[in-house]
Every structure is written in structure tokens, then in C-alpha cells.
Amino acid sequence: MENYIDLDNVIEEDVNNISEEKFKNVGKNSEKMEAITRPNLTYWKDAWRRIKKNKAAYAGLIIIIVYIFLAIIGPVISGYEYTAQDSTKMNQFVSKDHWFGTDELGRDLWTRVWRGARVSLAIGVIATLLNTIIGGFVGGISGYYGGTLDMVLMRIIDVMYGIPYLIVAILVMVVLRPGVTSLIIAMVIVGWISTARVVRGEVLRIKEQDFVAAAKVLGVSDITIIIKHIIPNVLGLIITNLTMSVPRAIFNEAFLSYIGLGISAPECSWGILAKSGIKMLRIYPYQLFIPSFFICTTMLALNLLGDGMRDALDPRLRGTE
């Protein structure tokens, strides 16, 4: 007969052998019971914590900071003017004197790239900010008040939304003189439409929430509800949309400058540099690859940052990590 162990009897014997001396009454520690095990984080601190945990978004943020820093000091540390021509140094490759080489007129490409970064980033950020302000205002008013006002504004937006964005921008640039101001105007004329539609949809959802209804019952004015309840809840969406719209504006600036409707000489931007570099593609390809690299990496970094901010600023995800 095989040997076996009766586990029930073993467990019962072990339980019976337990004495009170093996236990210790630790009492009640009120300080430990009431201690906060997790630091109290505000909405923005929690968002920043989640951005830092998102490696892709954090890397995109670092790239953007580095590019902005170089756009500020890059033209200064090179020692060359972005318009200075030198016929003895035309089409030189990368060297210790010219870190990005020179173009067909002997101008230092390092200086011109970071000078162009100033223009491209400035146009992208300013145009996007104006689009966000106008679109946020129109969408917020339309969504909050609704009724006839909402219907009229939405029909106007629907008509404008059916017109291709770049077609309108090109027509505006044909009418206006090429320049930074003309580019910004062309981007703002119809660029605010998508922001207005997004903000309107979010405001329509928020104004049906109980806290807004309670504020109305208590007699709170519309302007107070908008400032204290609507805007804080829409702000995260607006910031995310702002971040995602900047690369689109930079690309549009580069495209318009590339086809000759953007920045005019002697000013330069990444689009102008790409337009000049395409002429030398077969002989001196670095003149195209260098500005193209910065256009692509800037757009990639801003998109990664926008994706990370969309998740970080979502209040539904707060406290889930």
C-alpha cells in the first residue's frame, strides 16, 4: 500500500499548536492610517508626469526644445550672415568652417537653416495660435448657445470646409504680396474651421453635464459658467489640437514657399532652402537633404508630442497609472 500524507490532519495539528505568544497586538496608528501614500498632484503636474513617462512624447519635446534653442543661437555662433555671399566658397561640402556646407552662392547653410527655422517655426506657431483662438471662440459660442446662432455658424463653416485649404491659401498668396504676414493671413482665413468644429462638439457634451445644470439653477451667469466650467474642461482638448496643428502649418509654409508663393528673397525658410536644394539634387544632394531632414523631424516630433499630450491631458485617464 502506498504511503500518503493526510493534509487535513497536518493543517489541523498546526492550527492547534498556534499559541497567543506568536501574535503581537500592534495597536492603532492614526498617523499611518491617515498618511497620504501618493503625492497630491494637480491636473497639470499629473499631465507632466505622464508626458515624462511617455518616451516618444518626451523625446519629441526634447527635439523641439533643441531646435528652438538652435534657431535662437545658431545664426549667432556661426559667425556668418545668412545673406552673405562668397563666390570663392560656392557649393562646399560640410567642413569645420561651414558645418552644413555652403549653397550655390557661397552662403553658409548652417546659418541659413537656423535662420529659416526661426521663420518656419514662428509662422507655424503664430498661425496656429490665431486659428486656435478664433476657432475656439466661434466653436465655443456656437456650441454653448446653440439654436439659430449655432445653425447659421455651422452652415457657414460647412460651406468653407468644402473648399480645399491649400486652394484658398494659394489664392490669397496670389492676391497679396509674398511675405510672413501674407502667409499667416492665408493660413488663418480657413485654418480655424477644424478647431471650431472640434470645440463645438466638446462644448455640446460638457454643457449637458450636471455641474453646468446646477450652476444654471443657482443663477450663475453665462459668462461665469463659460470661464469657470466650460473653458477649463475644454482647455486640454484645445492645447492638444494646438500641438497637432503646428506641424501642419509648418508643412503648409514649406509647401507655399517651395512653389514660390511664400517667403521671398533675401529672407529664407525651410521651404525656400528645399526649393533651392532641389536644383542641386543630382550634384550636391546635401543642400536638399539637410533642410528636408529638419522639416521631417520637426513634424514628427510635434506629432509625437501631440499624441502624448492628448493622452496626458485626458482627465478620464487620470489616476489610472
Confidence at residue 15, expressed as pLDDT on a 0 to 100 scale: 59
Confidence at residue 26, expressed as pLDDT on a 0 to 100 scale: 65
Nearest to 237 by CA among 205, 189, 210: 205
The C-alpha cell that represents 170 in the structure block: 494659394
Q: How far apart are CA 154 and CA 158, in angstroms?
A: 6
Q: How far apart are CA 273 and CA 108, in angstroms?
A: 12
What is the phi/psi pair of residue 102, to 5°?
-130, 165
Contact 249, 123 (CB under 8 A): yes
Confidence at residue 68, expressed as pLDDT on a 0 to 100 scale: 92
Strand partners, 108: 102
Domains, the chain, ranges and CATH? Answer: 51-78+95-317 (1.10.3720.10)
Confidence at residue 61, expressed as pLDDT on a 0 to 100 scale: 92
Confidence at residue 1, expressed as pLDDT on a 0 to 100 scale: 46
Confidence at residue 39, expressed as pLDDT on a 0 to 100 scale: 63
What is the phi-psi region of residue 101: left when phi exceeds 0, alpha when psi lies from -120 to 50, beta otherwise?
A: left
Helix (H) or strand (E) holding 41: none
Confidence at residue 294, expressed as pLDDT on a 0 to 100 scale: 92
Which parts of the chain have pLDDT scores under 70? 1-41, 43, 314-321
Alpha helical stretches, state H, 146-192:
147-161, 165-175, 180-191
Contact 122, 270 (CB under 8 A): no
The secondary structure of residue 108, as a DSSP letter, is B
Confidence at residue 114, expressed as pLDDT on a 0 to 100 scale: 92
Return all residues near 121 (Cβ < 8 A) that are at least 6 apart: 67, 68, 71, 250, 298
Confidence at residue 37, expressed as pLDDT on a 0 to 100 scale: 59
Query: Over the stretch 69-79, which tens digit does the pLDDT of each residue have?
Result: 999 998 888 88
Helix (H) or strand (E) holding 132: helix 109-145
